[in-house]
């Protein structure tokens, strides 16, 4: 089940300023792999006064929180994925997995074309 980034942030009580909301809305979608500049352009369509610095700091915060994935592709700009995989509960150990990382070295068709 896909839960939007904006909904996940609300659920976790993340402080949503107008600028942060615009960044989250800019990242909305499944299999979206935007560069920071593309996120800024989309966010500026939503909220024209959003600054590039705010976009970069919000992307950094969201990556640190595990809400988005930062995708590093050799020789290309970093891209951001707002739909990290659903993480399972580990009842056998009495804990919930908060973050996991699987690394694939591949480029989707859309990113390859840009």
Domain spans, the chain: 5-113
DSSP for 45-109 reads HH-TT--HHHHHHHHHHHHHTTSSEEE--TTS--EEES-PPPPPEEGGGTEE------------H
Digit-by-digit pLDDT tens for the chain (114 residues) are 567 888 888 888 889 999 999 999 999 877 788 999 999 999 999 999 999 999 999 999 999 888 888 988 778 889 998 876 666 665 556 776 666 666 777 777 887 787
Please give the model's pTM, rounded to 2 decimal places: 0.73
Enumerate residues 6+ apart whose C-beta is below 8 A from 40.
26, 50, 52, 55
Q: Say yes or no: domain 5-113 is CATH 1.10.10.10.
A: yes
């Amino acid at each position: 089940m896909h839960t939007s980034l904006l909904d996940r942030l609300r659920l976790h009580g993340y402080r949503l300023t107008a600028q942060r909301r615009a960044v989250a809305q800019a990242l909305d979608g499944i299999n979206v792999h935007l560069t920071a500049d593309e996120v800024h352009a989309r966010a500026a369509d939503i909220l024209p006064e959003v600054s590039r610095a705010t976009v970069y700091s919000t992307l950094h915060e969201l990556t640190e929180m595990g809400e988005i994935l930062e995708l590093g592709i050799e020789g290309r700009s970093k891209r951001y994925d707002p739909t990290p995989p659903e993480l399972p509960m580990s009842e056998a150990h009495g804990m919930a997995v908060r973050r996991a990382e699987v690394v694939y070295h591949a480029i989707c068709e859309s990113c390859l074309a840009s």
